[in-house]
Amino acid sequence: MYMAHERKQYILHLLEQRGRIRSAELAHELGVTDETIRTDLVSLQKKGLLRRVHGGAEFIVPEPQNSQAELSRRADVQLARLMVTAIPPGAVIYAEACAFTRVLAAQLSDTPCTFVTNSPQLALHLSPQALPHSVICTGGKLDKESKLFYGKEAEQTLRDSQPHFCILRPAALSPTQAGYISALPAHWAALAAACARECFIICPSEHLYRPLQHTVALPQYTLFTEDNLPPSFASIPARTVPYISAEQLIKTDKFDY
**Residue bearing the bigger pLDDT, 130 or 220:** 220
Tens digits of per-residue pLDDT, 68-97? 555 556 677 888 889 999 999 999 999 998
Residue-level pLDDT at 153: 96
Same domain, yes or no, for 38 and 135? no
Distance in Å from the first CA to the final CA of the chain:
17
Average pLDDT over residues 12-23: 76
More confident residue, 177 or 256: 177
* Same-domain pairing of 42 and 77: no
Residues 56 and 142 in one domain: no
Does residue 79 sit in the same domain as residue 31?
A: no
Cβ-contact 81, 106 below 8 angstroms: no
Residue ranges making up the domain that contains 125 = 68-241
Q: Which of 11, 76, 70, 67 is nearest to 39 (CA)?
A: 11
Taking 90 as the threshold, does the pLDDT of residue 226 lie above it?
Answer: no
Residue 253 lies in a domain: no
* For the ranges 49-53, 60-64, 231-235, the one whose mean pLDDT is highest: 231-235
Q: Flag whether 257 is in a domain.
A: no
Shared-domain flag, residues 79 and 152:
yes
In CATH, what number is assigned to the domain containing residue 208? Answer: 3.40.50.10470
Verify that 177 and 158 share a domain, yes or no. yes
CA distances to 97, 140, 163, 207, 222 from 202, rounded to whole Å, are: 13, 26, 17, 10, 9
Q: Same domain, yes or no, for 108 and 235?
A: yes
Percent of the chain scoring above 70 in pLDDT: 86
For 215, other C-beta atoms within 10 Å of its C-beta total 19
Residue 47 is part of a domain; what is its CATH number?
1.10.10.10
Q: Specify whether 35 is located in the same domain as 147.
A: no
Q: Are residues 114 and 192 in the same domain?
A: yes
Number of domains the chain contains: 2
